[in-house]
């Protein structure tokens, strides 16, 4: 696949000589090592508050972060919050043994999921504490099926599970996994930290000044067509779109849809940016979580594709959150709808209706905004529960 698929090529090349590189990097290491594993970028964002707060508590320890997916590794390979970032070598008995012989971690933390049989069983053999944080379980998973013995055996390798909801707790209880705590989702802590450390973006402020603003984040072509059609009814509305993919082909395609839009890179190139365009396309990575601060209304993409993206990033700023219909597997989106901070839109007509309602009725806008903020506020605290468990059970004293 690597011959024609760039992601597969990155996946393959990133694992070449990986054990030699691990030995070289870790060979003089005497400190205790805490190993965090994340499947991809989204799981990293969930694990990040645990990594950074744990590091403050045990500054003399070293931290290793591994990824399975290139979409996580390639973006966070230079992350300064840990000592080393690597791809996880392919799961096999020999690889797992080599990995543990080199790394010899004192504590292992997997984020949300990514169950690798040989790594988990090797961890248990060596009697190393193994935690799952921000875990989510569904009844259709193999763990809970008659044929799920192998998967069930992997769960028995964990010292403790920190799950996001009571449904996950009850599912684990149903197969006699009792070492479980409902801690919530660490992403609430992460987005709260981002909001608390917000710094203004001068050029964005100039673009937004004096107008209501729709910030649409992590959009796909289906979302972008919908946004174009719906916002045509609101000539005074300024729009900032941060597409999920920012490669040239997609940016060019997006510009062909939004013909009056200007790219952010072009916008900031001017000492006095022009503000004649009502639409700004973000063509870089890393700014989206700050952009939501400037929104009157937000739209999170992916709901007409494989599934919506991060709805907590806009909610933490107290913004109404709109998104497409593919949200059922996302607890935070369901929670936003139930508390009145989020709304699902199924069509251009529904998006137009919601925009009109929020932009013309101040009370509805304020109520939705308050509900979003309170939803995030009420669900903070998962990181603190995890750190308390590690300390109370003296997991780093062995």
The CATH number of the domain holding residue 33 is 3.40.50.11720
Are 173 and 260 part of one and the same domain?
no
| Distance, CA of 8 to CA of 203 (rounded, Å) | 37
Amino acid 259: pLDDT: 83
Are 148 and 228 part of one and the same domain?
no
**Interval 84-119: pLDDT, tens:** 999 999 999 999 999 999 999 999 999 998 999 999
Structural element, H or E, at residue 52: helix 41-57
Q: Averaged over 126-133, what is the pLDDT?
A: 97
Are 256 and 348 part of one and the same domain?
yes
**Interval 334-350: pLDDT, tens:** 999 999 999 999 999 99
Are 62 and 150 part of one and the same domain?
yes
Question: What is the span of the domain harbouring residue 296?
Answer: 200-375
* Helices and strands counted in the chain (H then E): 19, 14
Are 20 and 165 part of one and the same domain?
yes
Report the CATH number that the domain containing residue 333 is assigned in CATH.
3.40.50.2000
On whether residue 191 sits in a domain, the answer given is no
On whether residue 192 sits in a domain, the answer given is no
Are 176 and 230 part of one and the same domain?
no
**Interval 222-274: pLDDT, tens:** 999 999 999 998 999 999 999 998 888 889 899 888 888 999 988 887 755 55
Task: Please tell me the total count of domains within the chain.
Answer: 2
Amino acid 277: pLDDT: 83
Are 217 and 333 part of one and the same domain?
yes
Are 159 and 113 part of one and the same domain?
yes
CB 373 within 8 A of CB 379: no
Alpha carbon distances (Å) from 255 to 117, 278, 352:
46, 13, 21
Are 113 and 232 part of one and the same domain?
no
Are 294 and 153 part of one and the same domain?
no
Are 309 and 243 part of one and the same domain?
yes
Mean of all residue pLDDT scores within the chain = 92
């Amino acid at each position: 696949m690597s011959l024609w698929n760039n992601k597969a090529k990155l996946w393959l090349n990133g694992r070449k000589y990986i054990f030699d590189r691990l030995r070289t990097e870790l060979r003089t290491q005497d400190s205790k090592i805490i190993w965090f594993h994340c499947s991809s970028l989204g799981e990293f964002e969930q694990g990040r508050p645990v990594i950074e707060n744990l590091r403050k508590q045990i500054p003399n320890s070293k931290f290793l972060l591994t990824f399975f997916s290139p979409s996580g590794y390639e973006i966070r390979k230079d992350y300064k919050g840990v000592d080393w970032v690597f791809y996880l070598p392919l799961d096999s008995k020999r690889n797992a043994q080599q990995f543990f012989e080199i790394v010899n971690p004192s504590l292992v933390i997997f984020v949300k999921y990514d169950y690798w049989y040989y790594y988990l069983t090797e961890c248990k053999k060596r009697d190393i504490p193994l935690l799952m944080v921000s875990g989510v379980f569904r009844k259709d998973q193999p763990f809970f099926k008659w044929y799920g013995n192998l998967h069930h055996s992997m769960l028995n390798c964990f010292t403790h599970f920190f799950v996001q909801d009571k449904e996950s707790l009850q599912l684990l209880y149903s197969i006699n996994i009792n070492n479980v705590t409902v801690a919530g989702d660490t992403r609430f802590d992460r987005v709260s930290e981002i909001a608390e450390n917000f710094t203004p973006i001068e050029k964005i402020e100039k673009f937004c000044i004096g107008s209501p603003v729709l910030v649409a984040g992590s959009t796909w072509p289906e979302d972008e067509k919908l946004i174009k059609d719906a916002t045509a009814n609101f000539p005074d509305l300024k729009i900032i779109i941060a597409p999920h993919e920012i490669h040239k082909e997609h940016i060019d395609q997006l510009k062909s849809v939004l013909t009056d839009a200007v790219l952010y890179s072009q916008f900031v190139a001017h000492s006095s940016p022009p503000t004649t365009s009502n639409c700004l396309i973000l063509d870089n990575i890393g700014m989206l979580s700050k952009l939501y601060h400037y929104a009157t209304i937000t739209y999170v993409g992916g709901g007409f594709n494989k599934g919506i993206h991060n709805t907590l990033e806009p909610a933490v700023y107290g913004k109404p959150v709109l998104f497409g219909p593919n949200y059922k597997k996302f607890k935070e989106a369901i929670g936003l709808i139930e508390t009145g901070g989020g709304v699902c839109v199924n069509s251009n007509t529904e998006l137009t209706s919601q925009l009109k309602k929020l932009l013309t009725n101040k009370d509805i806008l304020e109520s939705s905004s308050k509900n979003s903020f309170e939803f995030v506020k009420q669900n903070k605290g998962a990181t603190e529960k995890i750190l308390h468990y590690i300390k109370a059970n003296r997991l780093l004293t062995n």
